[in-house]
């Protein structure tokens, strides 16, 4: 019993030290800013080109659709497997941008982006109004 106790204490000490080190490293790990996440999503949206309006650049989409994007860092209900497994390192960019001129059609799109800037999942839907989006839009800078 006396031989087992020092070994158990050493093991417990190493385990606790490893957890503390992991916490420190994880909390100081540089993550993408909201602006970087939005830039990734907007660049992908420009390439996708939904509807008759085609944007020539990410800057043009942002300029013509002010307040189009918000970033959420938690509470991603729609994510499927396997993205659900690493949700802590995931952010969702929600966009609303015009895709139809006269018809005033908007495309509501969500991008699940990991900590490395890779788009894991997207989903979107066409809407005839932006009022529902504008009522819930909150901008936040990290």
DSSP for 50-110 reads -SS---SSHHHHHHHSTT-EEEE-S--TT--TTGGGGGGGEEEEEEEEEEETTTTEEEEEE
The helix (run of H) or strand (run of E) holding residue 23 is helix 4-28
| 54-102 pLDDT, tens digit each | 888 999 989 988 888 988 877 666 555 555 555 567 888 988 888 876 6
Q: What is the pLDDT of residue 141?
A: 39
The whole-angstrom separation of Cα 106 and Cα 132 is 11
Q: What is the pLDDT of residue 40?
A: 94
Domains of the chain by residue range: 1-30, 32-136
| 1-51 pLDDT, tens digit each | 567 777 778 888 888 888 777 666 655 556 788 899 999 999 999 988 787
Q: What angle do CA 91, 92, 97 make, to 5 degrees?
A: 145
The whole-angstrom separation of Cα 111 and Cα 37 is 9
Q: What is the pLDDT of residue 8?
A: 79
Q: What is the torsion angle, in degrees rounded to the nearest 10, for the CA atoms of residue 82, residue 85, residue 86 and residue 91?
A: 70
| 101-130 pLDDT, tens digit each | 666 788 888 898 888 899 988 888 887 765
Cis peptide before 82 (omega within 30 of 0): yes
The whole-angstrom separation of Cα 100 and Cα 77 is 29
Q: Is 90 exposed, middle or buried (0-12, 13-18, 19+ CB in 10 A)?
A: buried
Does the predicted model carry a pTM greater than 0.95? Answer: no
Q: What angle do CA 58, 60, 65 make, to 5 degrees?
A: 100
């Amino acid at each position: 019993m006396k031989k087992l106790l020092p070994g158990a204490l050493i093991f417990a000490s190493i385990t606790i030290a490893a957890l503390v080190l992991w916490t420190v490293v994880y909390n100081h790990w540089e993550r993408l800013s909201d602006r970087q996440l939005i830039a990734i999503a907007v660049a992908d949206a420009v390439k996708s080109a939904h509807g008759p309006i085609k944007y020539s650049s990410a800057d043009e989409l942002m300029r013509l659709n002010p307040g189009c994007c918000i970033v959420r860092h938690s509470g991603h209900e729609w994510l499927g497997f396997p993205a659900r497994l690493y949700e802590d390192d995931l952010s969702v960019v929600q966009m609303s941008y015009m895709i139809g001129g006269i018809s005033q059609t908007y495309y509501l799109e969500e991008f699940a982006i990991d900590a490395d800037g890779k788009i894991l999942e997207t989903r979107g839907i066409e809407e005839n109004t932006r009022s529902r989006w504008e009522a819930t839009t909150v901008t936040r800078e990290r």
